[in-house]
Amino acid sequence: MARLLIVLFLGVLLPGARADRIAEITEIHLAALGGRERIEALRSFRADGHVLSATGAQVRFTMLAARPVQVRIETERGGRTLIQGWDGVSAPWEFDTAAWPPRYRDMATGAARTFMSDAEFDDPLVAGEARGFTFDFAGELDVEGRKTLRVLVTRRLVETFTLFLDEETHLVLMRVEQRESAGGRAVRVSTHYTDYRPVEGVLLPHTITLTIDGRVTQQTKIARIEANPAHEADGFGRPVAPVVPAVTEATSPRPAVDAAPAEKR
């Protein structure tokens, strides 16, 4: 009976204790990044760099991102240009010069789902419940020789993943989740964040390494980040193709006619 009472007592206290721990972790995390005021002042950014694949292929990119989920990415390699974007409202779109005929089109369903999931401007702890995130503290864990704080994240009861924060710096080191591969197989995707540097007083990672089932598949190196750049408000939406008017008899050009008739001979 005493053991049962202890279990019941802990069952009442632990949820509240975990909520308090999450609140504490969040506040320290925000302070470590630069503080709420500086974070909120960073409304958008433009990043330039390159992505290195596991095969050694290198692709240059430029990314424009704005709060809360607007993003436009342009990549170029070997004469091929790929532009992908999302305005946070309509369907994600792309323009690929390698496809023929090249045209603005909706992304494939799987690619669009991943693109939207990765488009969040702020990390989950910064975005918080206002963006549909809920959290649960899952204890401490040694990861690659470092002590980390493990936070389980759920978004709108659909998307789930785990964040690992450095216990000393309270910066996000890694995000781990299950995703579906192109072949329909469940894979473990880990995103590692390193090389944090200040951008207008806000620490942002400049190296992002992606692994699938423990194998490194690509690494993103950001060379430069410009804070709050000037940009068109509608630059994230899918461009509208120009309308070419149809040629009709009324609009078709007519041969010129002399004002005076030719003189008879």
Query: Following DSSP, what letter does each residue of 186-234 receive, concatenated?
Result: EEEEEEEEEEEEEETTEEEEEEEEEEETTEEEEEEEEEEEEES----TT
| Mean pLDDT (the chain, rounded) | 87
> Is position 259 within any domain?
no
The 10 Å CB-count burial string (b at 16+, else e) for 137-159 is beeeeeeeeeebbbbebebeeee
pLDDT, tens digit (0-9, with 9 covering 90-100), for 234-243 = 789 998 765 4
pLDDT, tens digit (0-9, with 9 covering 90-100), for 182-223 = 777 889 999 999 999 999 999 999 999 999 999 999 999 999
> Is position 196 within any domain?
yes
Helix, strand, or coil (residue 168): coil
What pLDDT score was predicted for residue 231?
82
Give alpha helix (H) positions in the chain.
2-33, 36-41, 109-117, 124-127
> Is position 80 within any domain?
no
What pLDDT score was predicted for residue 245?
54
What is the sign of the dihedral through the CA atoms of 237, 226, 40 and 21?
positive
What pLDDT score was predicted for residue 90?
94
Q: How far, rounded to the nearest angstrom, does the alpha carbon of residue 261 sit from its chain's CA centroid?
A: 71
Structure-token pair, residue 186: 């469940």
What pLDDT score was predicted for residue 241?
67
Residue 89 phi, psi dihedral angles, 5° rounding: -125, -60
Residue for token digits 């500086």? 38
Residue for token digits 């993943």? 161
> Is position 204 within any domain?
yes
pLDDT, tens digit (0-9, with 9 covering 90-100), for 30-84 = 999 999 999 999 999 999 999 999 999 999 999 999 999 999 999 998 889 999 9
Residue 106 phi, psi dihedral angles, 5° rounding: -70, 145
pLDDT, tens digit (0-9, with 9 covering 90-100), for 90-111 = 999 999 999 888 899 999 998 9
> Is position 66 within any domain?
no
Residue 126 phi, psi dihedral angles, 5° rounding: -80, -45
> Is position 209 within any domain?
yes
> Is position 33 within any domain?
yes
Q: Please report which confidence band the pLDDT of residue 5 belongs to, taking 50, 70 and 90 as the band edges.
A: very low
Number of domains in the chain: 1
Q: Where in the sequence is the domain holding 162, given as residue range(s)?
A: 13-41+132-223
> Is position 144 within any domain?
yes
Q: How far apart are CA 130 and CA 66, in angstroms?
A: 17
pTM: 0.81
